[in-house]
Structure 1
Amino acid sequence: MRVKIDCVGGGPASLYLAVLAKLQDPAHEVTVHERHAAGTTYGWGVTYWPDLLRDLLAHDPESARLIEEQSVSWQGGFAYVGDRTTAHDGDPGHAIGRHRLRTVLADRARSLGVRLEFGKEIGSSAELPDADLVVAGDGAHSRLRTEHAAQFGTRVTTGANRFIWLGTSRVLSAFTFAFAETEHGWIWCYAYGFSPERSTCVVECSATTWAALGFDRLDHDASLRLLEKLFADLLEGHELLGRTDIESHAQWQAFPTVTNTAWSHGNLTLIGDAAHTTHYSIGAGTTLALRDAMGLARALRSATAPSRLPAVLAAYERDRKQALLSVQSAARHSAQWYENLPRYMGLEPHQMFALLGQRHSPLLPYVPPQLYFHLDQAVGRLQALRWLKQRLGPRLARTLQSRQGAADKGA
């Protein structure tokens, strides 16, 4: 069935859905509406992991190859805790500039016949042209979703901490954490390289520390200079960079967690941050948005007639909500770990970093940190012993049996 699809918002979710829809059926008429001019975007770099790259390769090898080529990779990480540093082995990760990712997807969509309309703002359903399916991919503050908030059952809650999304000219070779203690409490950042020239640097602290340090009163430049002093060891003389590409400088904010009891209303459906947001501390937002696009495209394959669209959207919502359960749980626990950061800062840096890696655990908030660390280490040793037993046990048994047989023959 030929479907007319209009996507509002030119982020990764909308663009990738447009790509997949046209690959699925070139007869689909797909338009992406983006309110900003072509070539502009916000943010710095975004992270993703090898499992997403495998999924991208399976869905569209051409765009996946370009994304991989323009990404940087790392493995493990570092943590600066005051004047001490600790390293940690970990899984490999990837990052790409948000602008580069959008350019790859926009170029791919255009090559497949998707119509891209930049500089056109659609603030309400009344401004949309007629379409079989309207996809709201216009972000956490989606206007189309807000217009029908009662029908979607939208709920937005804000976190206790304050954060700001910045860049830096220091190029980091691994995912890096830095924790600085001030007279008003701890302030910390997550940082990672995303290109040969830049890294992302997300700074966070409690609302109390934020106000006591004066960030509620300082202008943008003064805020950056103070942050450069606080994270001097991490930055090594490099500067912090504020956003200058769209509308205004990056602003301090509290993270908005968006949930919706329904993802569709009539022919309007939600995708990416318009449907759900995931705390930035687990680095999954872009991955989930792209997987939403995969899920919606997969559901559309069964749309043999316009009357099938409600069932298609219900299947998409059901499958994606199920897939999000474990990720969203991990994100909530991760956010709570940082909101209770002082609880863990009395540990040695390697212990704190180990629990940082365990922050998704629902048990951690209820067990004394020192005890949890030692229990986790003991379980790790037990798992190693189990692995040795499973892998080496049969071989060792055969060796001993062979030796015993030789000894019996010699006797």
Structure 2
Amino acid sequence: MRIVCVGGGPAALYFAICAKRDDAGHDITVREQDPPGATYGWGVVCHDRLLDMLYYTDRESAQEIRQRSTLWQEQEVHLPGSRPGYLPGYGFSVPRTGLLDALRTRADALGVRVTQDDPVPAGALHDNTFAGADLVVVADGARSRLRDHDPSRYGTTVTTGRNPYIWLGTRKQFAAFTFAFEHTTAGWIWCYGYPTSDGVSTFIVECTPETFTGLGLDVLPHADGIAVLQRIFADVLGGAPLLSNSRGRAARWQRFLEVRNTTWVADNTVLLGDAAHTTHFTMGQGTSLAMTDALMLASAIAEHPTIGSALGWFDDRGREALANTQAGARTGAAWFERVDHYLDRDPMEFAYALAHRHGDQPPWRFQLHRATQLAAFRRPRRALHTGRRQWRALRRGEAVPARRPRV
């Protein structure tokens, strides 16, 4: 089968890996429009469920991704002038550049052709660009040019979120996933910080439109705007600098795009990853969902007798599996759009509201949360999570121990 993937992100690359493993006879090309070294962004979050899937599916790429990953433990919630609130949990972060490098290397080793600096015309689905291809995988992101050339084919709806955000890095090395909320003369502004690699953390800043314009972030020169953020978050950064450029590309303010499609399939073309759907970044599942899509599509092709039946199954099952996650992400995004309604609470109560922003919880959960604000109660909980993490790592056959960032 001749397959062309448009877009060189995690969805396309992992699909190519999975499909080539299933059938080495597939002729697969991945076409990426950006030149080598132009990858944007900092760290992407992953959890045990994704690592389990990666190890089960393709151990070689899984081990490489895990070796590039950094562990974070617990979550801290900071409000001005108060002790932090604490939330349980752990996760991993991998630099986006490292993730893509690992996937490209593995795809190349399997015989997939990966081209870069190779743009595809927006109207390519309607001319002879893909003549002879049995399957075209459209994985060129939330702003997919191929999908948007004729969005009626997929019933595409793109909704722009209210809050502006910017994806930065910092030399501050966080050990926990950190939320910090700061009140300014223009209103509230907050950040999400988590370790990405030794010496670097990801630092996402979000605020309401009123705060954004009130601080002048909509009109200030880029460097001046970063300096404003540096001053606002001086305490949580501990004097460490913010980093704007990732592989030469300056970060920019943007608003989240929620992408929905009534179908992911048209003829022999299928949408994958962010081109098919997005979930708000506060869910931390975008990369996981994209790679899960990739495995599901490759498995469907391997298990069905025709490409039509495979795509039909993938379309039905994939959209059905995503529905609850996308609804939860929508609820979470709306919570942050009105977060100032909750910020009159103390850090302990606010942290609880943050953790359970997707729905009501039984009363005993709040009492447990209250107790675990004390270090004496957090230690055994952390030990329990460490044991669970190590057990899962052993079960999937991790070749490297869990690594904590140096602080």
TM-score by length of 2: 0.87
- Report what 2:404 is aligned to: none
User: C-alpha displacement at 1:336, in angstroms?
Assistant: 0.9
- Report what 2:28 is aligned to: 30
Tell me if structure 1 keeps the 8 A contact 2:208–2:337. Answer: yes
Cα distance in 2, alignment partners of residues 120 and 130 from structure 1: 19
* Pairing 1:283–2:272 present: no
1:17 pairs, out of 8, 12, 15, with: 15
- Report what 2:384 is aligned to: none
2:189 pairs, out of 183, 187, 190, with: 187
12-21 or 76-85, larger mean C-alpha shift = 76-85
Matched AA of 1:97: P
Tell me if structure 2 keeps the 8 A contact 1:33–1:116. Answer: yes
- Report what 1:206 is aligned to: 208
Cα distance in 2, alignment partners of residues 30 and 142 from structure 1: 20
* Pairing 1:228–2:230 present: yes
CA RMSD of aligned residues (A): 1.7
Helix, strand or coil for the counterpart of 2:274? helix
Tell me if structure 1 keeps the 8 A contact 2:75–2:89. Answer: no
Tell me if structure 1 keeps the 8 A contact 2:87–2:351. Answer: no
Tell me if structure 2 keeps the 8 A contact 1:155–1:259. Answer: yes
Unaligned runs of 5+ in 1: 364-371, 382-411
- Report what 2:315 is aligned to: 317
Cα deviations by residue, 1:105-146 (Å, 9 ceiling, x for unpaired)? 000000000001111100232333531000011000001111
- 1:212-361 matched pairs, under 5 angstroms: 212-245=214-247, 248-304=249-305, 308-361=306-359
Aligned sequence identity (%): 40
Cα distance in 1, alignment partners of residues 288 and 342 from structure 2: 29
Tell me if structure 2 keeps the 8 A contact 1:180–1:187. Answer: yes
- Report what 1:399 is aligned to: none
Tell me if structure 2 keeps the 8 A contact 1:39–1:103. Answer: no
1:52 pairs, out of 33, 50, 53, with: 50
Cα distance in 2, alignment partners of residues 277 and 175 from structure 1: 22
Tell me if structure 2 keeps the 8 A contact 1:78–1:85. Answer: no
Aligned length: 366
Matched AA of 1:278: T
Helix, strand or coil for the counterpart of 1:234? helix
- 1:93-108 matched pairs, under 5 angstroms: 93-108=91-106
Helix, strand or coil for the counterpart of 2:357? coil
TM-score by length of 1: 0.86
Matched AA of 1:319: R
Unaligned runs of 5+ in 2: 371-407
Cα distance in 2, alignment partners of residues 261 and 170 from structure 1: 42
Helix, strand or coil for the counterpart of 2:157? strand
Structure 1 or 2, whichever has the larger Rg, is 1
Matched AA of 1:338: F
2:147 pairs, out of 145, 148, 151, with: 145
Matched AA of 1:350: M
Cα distance in 1, alignment partners of residues 339 and 99 from structure 2: 33
- The one of the two structures with greater contact order (alpha-carbon pairs below 8 A, sep at least 6) is 2
2:161 pairs, out of 159, 162, 172, with: 159
Tell me if structure 2 keeps the 8 A contact 1:295–1:319. Answer: no
